[in-house]
């Protein structure tokens, strides 16, 4: 990874060329996250990223990691980095629709690109530059720091046989997926991951999505819900983000900036493969040991959700010029890369 200097240069935004670059340069940062302490996958990724940066920099950039609730609530990560209160954050763009609606697209779009396609948009289709422009208006430099891949549709305490079964159903579902779910007749609820088990067990919500078998089993969701649905129509890609205060970034030397960039790229690839491997093993455990009832959403339900996705994205685009610009770029690239993948991979996927 460190050998690809041209790639790193392209992915690292320019900071202050006058910043010190010798071995006397020292920085101590704080990273706040949206995850419970040491939570598998997400929390461990934040810890590993901080450790990698410290190791590669020979201790010149030390980062102290704080889980959700230790310094700030899970959903205040973005604001704290934007204000410069914290130098660094680890979270998901899907949480910031109230602050910056366009941010959600940099995580995923319902029925949109898969992780592989999303990454090509970011690195080679202008997505990263657009992301940095949008977040830059808030004083933040964003980096990809992982991708969960396609997620599951969620945990339900009743079967979903038709669109009628969604009406009035209270479900923890965030971001654009939540807006689509509401248009289809459901009641979206915004909750941090740490609250899901209790909320589902007490009946405060009827269903919840979180991620995939690996993370869902870690939260014990299989103990409080009977049915596990797929596909994860709402999040075919789950991009995680490392957020850095623009002011803090500008204080780093070009050398340390390259180290941070390399560490984020490395972590992004590790997380993507980790989730695929661990989801596969966890699903077997859920089915064989816990007798989870795996169900596929009926075609009629998926069709309705797709219709509502088109309606939601059209409405949001009409009302928000920034979101419209981002979604247009996203959609155009999805069409372009899809044409190539149909030819190159369609045969192997049975298309």
Each residue of 252-298: pLDDT tens digit? 999 999 999 999 999 999 999 999 999 999 999 999 999 999 999 99
In the block, tokens 């202050």 appear at 16
Q: Is the pLDDT reported for residue 1 higher than 60?
A: no
Q: Are 175 and 97 in contact (CB under 8 A)?
A: yes
Residue 335 burial by Cβ neighbours in a 10 Å radius (0-12, 13-18, 19+): exposed
Query: Per-residue pLDDT averaged across 218-230, rounded?
Result: 96
184-200: pLDDT as tens digits? 999 999 998 889 999 99
Distance CA 291, CA 127 (A): 41
Q: Which domains does the chain have, with CATH numbers?
A: 154-235+292-320 (3.40.190.10)
Q: Are 156 and 226 in contact (CB under 8 A)?
A: yes
Q: Count of CB atoms within 10 A of residue 268's CB?
A: 24
Per-chain mean pLDDT for the chain:
93
Where residue 38 falls among pLDDT bands split at 50, 70, 90?
A: confident
Query: Per-residue pLDDT averaged across 9-26, rounded?
Result: 60
How far CA 213 is from CA of 72, 127, 221, 232, in Å, comes to: 27, 29, 9, 12
The region of weakest confidence among 14-18, 35-39, 283-287 is: 14-18
Half-sphere exposure of 126 (CA within 13 A, CB side): 13
In sequence order, what E strands does 275-330 have? 293-296
Name residue 61's beta-bridge partners: 27
Distance CA 350, CA 336 (A): 20
Q: What strands, in cross-sheet order, belong to the sheet with 140-147? A: 61-66, 27-33, 88-91, 239-245, 140-147
In the block, tokens 């045969």 appear at 347
Q: Is the pLDDT reported for residue 9 higher than 80?
A: no
Where residue 8 falls among pLDDT bands split at 50, 70, 90?
A: low
pTM: 0.90
What is the maximum alpha-carbon separation in the chain? 65
> Are β-strands 239-245 and 187-189 bridged in parallel, bridged antiparallel, or unpaired?
unpaired
Query: Per-residue pLDDT averaged across 23-50, rounded?
Result: 94
pLDDT at position 349 is 75
For residue 96, what is the DSSP state? G
Q: Is the pLDDT reported for residue 245 higher than 70?
A: yes
How far CA 335 is from CA of 60, 111, 112, 214, 330, in Å, comes to: 44, 13, 10, 31, 9
Q: Is the pLDDT reported for residue 18 higher than 90?
A: no
pLDDT at position 198 is 96
Query: Per-residue pLDDT averaged across 218-238, rounded?
Result: 96
Q: Is the pLDDT reported for residue 28 higher than 90?
A: yes
Query: Per-residue pLDDT averaged across 85-107, rounded?
Result: 95
Where residue 24 falls among pLDDT bands split at 50, 70, 90?
A: confident
């Amino acid at each position: 990874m460190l050998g690809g200097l041209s790639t790193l240069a392209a992915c690292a935004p320019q900071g202050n060329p006058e910043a010190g670059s010798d071995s006397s340069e020292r920085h101590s940062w704080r990273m706040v996250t949206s995850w419970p302490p040491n939570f598998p996958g997400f929390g461990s990724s934040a810890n590993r990223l901080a450790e990698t940066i410290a190791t590669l920099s020979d201790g010149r950039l030390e980062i102290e990691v704080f889980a959700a609730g230790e310094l700030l609530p899970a959903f205040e990560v973005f604001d704290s980095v934007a204000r410069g209160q914290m130098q660094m954050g680890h979270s998901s763009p899907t949480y910031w629709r109230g602050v910056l609606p366009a941010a959600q697209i940099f995580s995923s779009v319902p029925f949109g690109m898969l992780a592989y396609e999303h990454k090509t948009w970011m690195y080679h289709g202008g997505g990263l530059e657009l992301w940095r422009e949008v977040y830059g208006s808030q004083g933040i430099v964003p980096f990809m720091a992982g991708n969960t891949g396609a997620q599951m549709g969620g945990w339900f305490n009743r079967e979903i046989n038709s669109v009628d079964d969604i009406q009035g159903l209270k479900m923890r579902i965030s971001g654009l997926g939540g807006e689509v779910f509401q248009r289809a007749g459901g009641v979206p609820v915004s909750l941090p991951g740490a609250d899901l088990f209790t909320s589902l067990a007490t009946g405060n919500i009827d269903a919840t999505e979180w991620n995939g078998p690996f993370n869902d089993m870690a939260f014990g969701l299989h103990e409080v819900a009977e049915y596990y649905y797929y596909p994860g129509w709402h999040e075919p890609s789950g991009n995680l983000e490392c957020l850095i205060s623009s002011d803090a970034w500008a204080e780093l030397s070009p050398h340390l900036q390259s180290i941070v960039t390399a560490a984020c790229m490395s972590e992004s690839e590790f997380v993507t493969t980790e989730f695929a491997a661990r989801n596969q093993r966890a699903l077997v455990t859920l089915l064989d040991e816990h007798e989870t009832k795996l169900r596929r959403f009926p075609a009629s339900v998926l069709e309705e959700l797709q219709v509502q996705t088109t309606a939601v994205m059209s409405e949001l685009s009409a009302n928000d010029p920034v979101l419209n610009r981002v979604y247009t770029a996203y959609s155009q690239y999805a069409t372009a890369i899809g044409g190539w993948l149909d030819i190159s991979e369609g045969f192997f996927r049975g298309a």
